[in-house]
């Protein structure tokens, strides 16, 4: 199954050959969308009994997350920020085919690992007990960790969606004159990067929602296998690394663009990624 998921993410991410940046933007969303939608369709048709509602919600949230992101990215590029489309064309023209191929493979692999918690949970729902493998009810049910994961998924999706919408609306005001201004409205009054905070919460929730299922047990040897756990953990570590890098890069860019704005500098001293907080003076230099 992991190999089939990789094939699907390769298909979705291949849109990056049209525009290089799509490997990490539209292709990212499209890959997750294809995997989650196919998982819902295939497993619900394959199951001999009704798949648990929470299991379908787990994967459906991934579907909604990817669909929302894809629509947002395309609208931003072609409607809300036409200059961005020109930049993507320029980046694509400078990109070599060798670079595109390597980024395609690497991104597709990690996108597959990120969505595997949904696949393992869906697989768990249709496992048929046999003489060699009988899943326990405790491992196949949704425990407290799994339910916390669903809450984080839903909250993260909502947080990221609202933050993106608020910033997009702010930047497009006054016929685009706000494009170069610091966004300090809505959720952006409480966190330096509420959209990335929401994305991080979503993927942590996706991970927690899938790691407890009984598919982490080997059918052939009737013992636990660490491979599914490792695959899911690689995906979580990858997106954590990506979000951290994006936040650091954007923080440096913000400081360069708004470093002369006293209100912005004061905001940075008292607010961070996770929201408002106080930074000791001797540590203020370390903040973005």
Question: Average pLDDT for residues 211-230, to the nearest whole number?
Answer: 66
Per-residue confidence band for 280, with pLDDT thresholds at 50, 70 and 90: low
Q: Residue ranges of the alpha helices (H) in 76-193? A: 82-94, 97-125, 137-140, 144-171
CA 243 – CA 249 distance, rounded (Å): 10
Quick one: which of 19, 190, 199 has its CA closest to 104? 19
CA distance 81 to 86: 10
pLDDT band at 180; cut points 50, 70, 90: confident
- For residues 131 and 82, the model is more confident at 82
pLDDT of residue 46: 86
What is the predicted pLDDT for the residue at 221? 46
The DSSP-derived string for 195-249 is HHHHHHHHHHHHHHHHTTSGGGEETTTTEE-SHHHHHHHHHHHHHHHHHHHHHHH
Identify the band that residue 184 occupies on the pLDDT scale cut at 50, 70 and 90: very high
User: Residue 215 pLDDT > 90, yes or no?
Assistant: no
> Out of 17-31, 129-143, 156-170, 206-220, which region has the weakest mean confidence (pLDDT)?
129-143
Cβ–Cβ contacts within 10 Å for residue 157, how many?
21
pLDDT for position 223: 53
Q: What is the mean pLDDT of the chain?
A: 87
Distances (CA, A) of 125 to 8, 27, 86, 275, 277: 21, 29, 46, 38, 43
Q: Phi and psi for 219 in degrees, rounded to 5?
A: -70, -40
As a whole number of angstroms, the distance between CA 259 and CA 7 comes to: 45
The CA radius of gyration of the chain, in Å to the nearest whole number, is: 21
Q: Is the pLDDT of residue 129 over 50?
A: no
How far is residue 206's CA from residue 195's CA, in Å, rounded to a whole number? 17
The residues, any chain, with a CB within 8 Å of residue 152's CB and separated by 6 or more, are: 201, 202, 204, 205, 208
pLDDT higher than 70, residue 134:
no
């Amino acid at each position: 199954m992991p190999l089939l998921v990789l094939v699907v993410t390769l298909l979705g991410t291949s849109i990056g050959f049209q525009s290089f940046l799509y490997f990490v933007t539209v292709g990212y969303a499209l890959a997750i969308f294809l995997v989650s939608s196919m998982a819902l369709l295939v497993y619900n048709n394959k199951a001999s009994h009704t798949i648990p509602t929470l299991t379908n919600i787990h994967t459906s949230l991934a579907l909604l997350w990817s669909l929302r992101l894809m629509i947002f990215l395309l609208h931003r590029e072609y409607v809300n920020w036409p200059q961005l489309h020109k930049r993507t064309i320029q980046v694509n023209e400078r990109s070599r085919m060798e670079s595109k191929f390597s980024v395609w493979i690497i991104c597709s692999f990690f996108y597959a690992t990120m969505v595997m918690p949904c696949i393992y949970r869906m697989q768990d729902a249709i496992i048929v007990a046999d003489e060699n493998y009988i899943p326990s009810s405790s491992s196949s049910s949704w425990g407290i960790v799994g339910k916390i994961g669903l809450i984080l998924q839903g909250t993260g999706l909502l947080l990221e969606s609202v933050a993106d919408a608020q910033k997009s609306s702010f930047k497009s005001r006054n016929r685009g004159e706000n494009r170069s201004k610091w966004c300090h409205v809505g959720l952006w009054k409480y966190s330096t990067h509420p959209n990335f905070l929401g994305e991080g919460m979503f993927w942590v929730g996706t991970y927690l929602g899938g790691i407890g299922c009984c598919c982490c047990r080997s059918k052939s040897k009737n013992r636990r296998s660490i491979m599914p756990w490792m695959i899911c953990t690689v995906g979580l570590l990858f997106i954590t690394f990506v979000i951290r890098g994006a936040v650091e890069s954007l923080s440096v860019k913000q400081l360069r663009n708004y470093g002369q704005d006293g209100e912005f500098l004061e905001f940075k001293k008292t607010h961070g990624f996770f929201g408002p907080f106080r930074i000791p003076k001797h540590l203020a230099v370390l903040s973005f």
